[in-house]
Structure 1
Amino acid sequence: MERPLPLDELQLTFLPNHADPSEGRFFFYGTPDPLEATLDLGLPPGDPVDTELMTEGGLAEVHGRELPVRPALKPLERIASRPDISGSLAAWARVSNAVLERKYDQLDKLADELPAEGHAAYHSDGHRWNASATVASFFETYAELLRSDSHANRRLITAQHADPGPVELNADLRPYQGHGISWLETVAETGSGAILADDMGLGKTLQAIGLLARRAGESPHLVVCPTSLVGNWKREITRFAPQLSVHVHHGPGRARKLASLPYVDIIVTSYSIALRDIKTLKSWVFDTVVIDEAQAVKNHRSRTAMAVAELTGRVRLALTGTPVENHLHELWAISEFVNPGLLGTQAEFKRRYADAIEAHHNRDAAAGLRAHIDPVVLRRLKEEVASDLPDKIESTVACTLTEEQAQLYSEAINLAFEEGLGEGIARRGRILKLLTELKQICNHPAQALGQNGGKLGDRSGKLDRVTEMCAELVESGGRALVFTQYRAAGEMLAGHFKEALGIDAPFLHGGLDGEARERLVDAFQAAEGPAVLIISLRAGGTGLNLTNANHVIHFDRWWNPAVEDQATDRAHRIGQEQTVYVHKLVTAGTLEERIDELLTRKRFVAQQVVGSGEDWIGEMDDTQFRKLIELDGEGVS
């Protein structure tokens, strides 16, 4: 005789759905309050439901919590070795572990270990589902996302063009934004994770807030973003969804404040704090975990990526305007956060897609990857969905070298080659050092020589040109963002503009705290604010809304089109009503000019699948490298 199903400890079974495998669900039951029991174990919150299970006495209606498969796998894996959980929970934890480790050949054996409580779904004529069929049905549900033609994936693709109905947001949604919210909701319902990779400036934050507003309920949401955007997230939530309460987990005393926090809808924190406080944050159970500027986890072995992977949420959402900055591996890493296992192991992904696309520009492989990720990666471009945005007119501004710059430039190259570049890692280090030195010389001799104070004018063709441009645009009533990757250059520009033009040009850089950054942004956006804002490319190149600018000047080049485009789109985004003029300063006759030409030919990967850094330069031999950087005398004034 089968023993009765206990009602004093949390149990887990699986509820198959043969008609639609994507609708198969885990079902937690066995205690008076299954929600409290699951949260105590660090398991994601499920939906309350009553269902019929087979007990010793026959068919009985049981109250419990229903949860899609994928959000439960990692949390179940973490509790597999706990001695204080029921046999059914432990058995399903072992099944989850086998699936995550792709040990599918173990599933039949593990099915034999399922106690009656673990396969208690009603089948027919007074019978429960047997253990083997239950595990097989579970795997079929898990695999729905892996098959591009599955019902789940067709439903996700359809949702990308669906009307979400009324959304409780203080915003007039554009059609594509409503479609994005509808898709995000469907992703959440199916238990999938999602990457919202819309072009920069199309309102990814607003769409994410729409999802959070729709899903506000028993468990809080968590937003993890760069430090510079923490204040922006709080401001945008308050603006668009004032009905949601927000807590910023940042600053001194944050652990005590979090511990004593009454219920809150959304917690916002930064990547650096999430890493520092991961022991605290991973003890919480969130409904939705959002990572903004998700390229922060593009290295899956980084401490930051490993920390956020430990966060528990029913829904995982990654926001990024550049899912591929340098290598396709970055897309794999972000996907691994939102949907572990979807793209296979890193080695499998490299063999199947990355090598074919990056090394051979194989369009069939690119199309295959796109078909695989299309249901759970949504990317719309401005020209496709926001054709009413004003034009963005880009131009390359050629600058000359002064004789002082030319002499320093040639001397740096000659010295580097006389000393030798070496091999292996040491060679890469020397090449990077030389590239940095040459770029700084192109900016200004004072930056390259580490000089503070003294005369700046007439020593750099680039500084003289940017000064003329800013003088002209200020005179005509324009507003400009000037981006540089170097703090020394930003401070030099701020001082020089004050002295030469008599204008205050604040410098937004990584050394400022969140409040100081917000003050600079608010001041620039105000009608009476400064006409020029200088920005560190890394500190202010993402997330900010600076639509008061109608000019963007790249004083020096990052040599990564994706990063530069992100910076440009601080101004060219929803809310911009003016044509945006983008000026990229390039010193003629130098490596800047040659690399600018090369970059126009290095956009294939990002465009085909959903960037480029300096790694490829390190692969050149000495002859190729010298040809790239050698000074052409025609660029000297």
Structure 2
Amino acid sequence: MAWWGTTDVLDAAGRHGLPDGAPSHRLLARPDGEKVTARSTPVRTVPLGQAVPALAAIQPRPGMSASLLTWRAAALIALGGGEAERFEALAESMPAAAHAMVDGDGVWTAYAALTAFAEAVTRTYLAPSTTGERLVDAKDDEADTPDVEATLRPYQRNGVAWLRAIADHGRGALLADDMGLGKTLQAIALIAGRAATDRHRPHVVVCPTSVLGNWARELRRFAPRLGVLRHHGPQRAADVAAFEPGSVVVTSYQVMLRDIELFASVDWDVVVLDEAQQIKNRQSQTAKAARLLPAHVRVALTGTPMENRLSELWSIMDFANPGLLGTHQRFVKRFAEPIELRHDGRVAARLRHTVEPYLLRRLKNDVADDLPAKQESIVSCTLTAEQAKLYRGAVSAALDTGFGAGIARHGRILKLLTQLKQICNHPAQFLGTEGTLRGRSGKLDRVTEMLAEAVAEGSQTLIFTQFRTMGELLARHLGAELGIDEVPFLHGGVSQPAREVMVDRFQGDTAPDPILIVSLKAGGTGLNLTAATNVVHYDRWWNPAVEDQATDRAHRIGQTRPVDVYKLVTGGTLEERIADMLERKRSLTDAVIGTGEDWVTNLDDRQLRKLIELSEMEVA
């Protein structure tokens, strides 16, 4: 719907309790002397799911416009079933200004506007009850995925079938699988399938800045026929013409909020919000902006759909299916208060029944038979502007000085490799400074998001780093961000008795530590840490055998659950290029690869330059 008609539409909407909407322009029929002309007019566009309950809730007051009162009546009639005779009567009294939208060569008639509105309301709120049953049944279907270059596991094919059913019914989805179960791949399969059959509209993925590069790479890897546009940075597109039909636009929450007028004017096919807990606060500007994105299908991805309060679930679900849970005020009275304050099981069951068709959550234990004993994933992270500046400076200084020859060359290359790895880890590690850590490293931001999800789901995680300084920074930062009193760090300076205490606390049955940071050298061998089901390699040793030994602290005899292994790599840097080289060298012996980084020092200057120079596309 569109609000228009006063000099200050935003102020008028606020006074009537209506959603703000997004600024836009539409062709409206306006009086021009004795004739009527179509003119581009400033309006505020509002998704139907937000507009209808707000219109229905308006209390008539003296001085309220006839147009607004007419649409309030239309909302009440439509929500009540929409008898044709009542719309005919309402159409006769509807002011011309209330249906002034130009459609094709003409203006909507009052009756045509009202009946189209009623049909849309019916699809949104009053669909037959069998719709929910069909969506629940779709969770057991297995989709064919010829448009993605990947072999999906059975539970992932179930997820894609369900997402397709959601899309076919014009609804939105909240995919809330455990971390590591492939939410990204399932969303890509949905987009690729729709793009293959209908290339009239673009798609958009909104994600944290730290995973922009990862989304772009995964799209190119699994759906190479899709066009991918990274929308961020000062050179980003300023016009909707850049968003080609059938392509996928990847942007961050910050840029989406900054460019909401542009994004709200695009007819998107699929809108995906990754790490959708970013909109858990319904009153945040980010959440309000996300609800303004027009889409045929809305998909929210998060392993933590609710962290503290039911209102968080309402906010995410209201993005995916506006109006499904009613207004927030009604939701609080109907569900949140009875469940949170009185622990009312019947109300909780009613809420589960309401959201069940639109929410899919599988835990690792649910799909254990589909999972291998060990799953390895490369997690691509994005450089911040600060990291990129330091990275360029280090590379430039090294190339200007030259690497020399012999033992001196060996030492200079190893020094540069260490500097670049530290910069990729965090500027504070490279600079040796104190202060704020958040927002300065794409890698740290990404691992924080991952661990927040892991802690919320109750799983335990090992984090390996080869740098003691980085381990200390991680312990301090994660403790503060995740609300953990103390994140233990096992390194070479820890005494044997203290080391045993750390291991016992992590392996214990009662309130075990959710995270254990381990120095790769101090804890890469000899430890039994089978309580962990997640292993994170924060920085890379660049020797697969050494990393595998570390991973085997969790993936060993005594481990009864699948283990997810995440190797963090900073896109566009030497980390990404060496990771690609190592994947190709996995079948070679250690004698060929060498140990540590020594094999890198044998590269010539041309190969080194190609390895270390920064790809500017990957900078956030």
Taking structure 2 as the reference length, what is the TM-score of the superposition? 0.50
